[in-house]
Structure 1
Amino acid sequence: MTHLVFFCGHAGTGKTTLARKLFGALMKASGSPFCLLDKDTLFGGYSAAAIAMLTGNPNDRDSPLFLQHLRDPEYRGLLDTARDNLALGVSAVVVGPLSREVRERRLFDRAWLGIGAEVKLRVVWVHTSEETARQRIVERANPNDAYKLAHWDEYRQRRFMPSGALCDDLLMFDNSAPTPADYQDLLARIVDEPYAAPTMMPPVPV
Structure 2
Amino acid sequence: MTRLVFFCGHAGTGKTSLAKHLIGPLARATGEPFCLLDKDTLYGRTGAATLAALGQDPHDRDSPLFLHHLRDPEYQGMLDTARENLALGVSVLAVGPLSREVRERRLLDRQWLGVAEDVALAAVWVCADEQTAQQRIVARAHPGDDWKLAHWDEYRQRRFEPEGAQRDDLIVFDTTAPTQADYDALLQRLAGAS
Task: State the TM-score, normalizing by the size of structure 2.
Answer: 0.96
Equivalent residues in 2 for 1:172-187 (5 A)? 172-187=172-187
Supply the RMSD in Å over aligned alpha carbons. Answer: 1.1
Q: Give the structure 1 partner of residue 148 of structure 2.
A: 148
Q: Give the structure 2 partner of residue 9 of structure 1.
A: 9
Structure 1 moving runs of 4+ over 2 Å: none
Q: Give the structure 2 partner of residue 166 of structure 1.
A: 166
CA offset at residue 148 of structure 1? 1.1
Q: Deviations over 1:30-55 (max 9, x none)?
A: 11101100001000000000011223
Q: Deviations over 1:159-202 (max 9, x none)?
A: 10112221112100010011110000001111228xxxxxxxxx
Matched residues, number: 193
1:3 is paired with a residue of what secondary structure?
strand
Equivalent residues in 2 for 1:44-123 (5 A)? 44-123=44-123
Name the aligned partner's letter for residue 42 of structure 2: L
Name the aligned partner's letter for residue 116 of structure 1: A
Task: State the TM-score, normalizing by the size of structure 1.
Answer: 0.91
Unaligned runs of 5+ in 2: none
Q: Give the structure 2 partner of residue 188 of structure 1.
A: 188
Unaligned runs of 5+ in 1: 194-206
Q: Give the structure 2 partner of residue 204 of structure 1.
A: none
Name the aligned partner's letter for residue 119 of structure 2: V
**Identity, % of aligned pairs?**
67
1:176 is paired with a residue of what secondary structure?
coil
CA offset at residue 56 of structure 1? 3.6
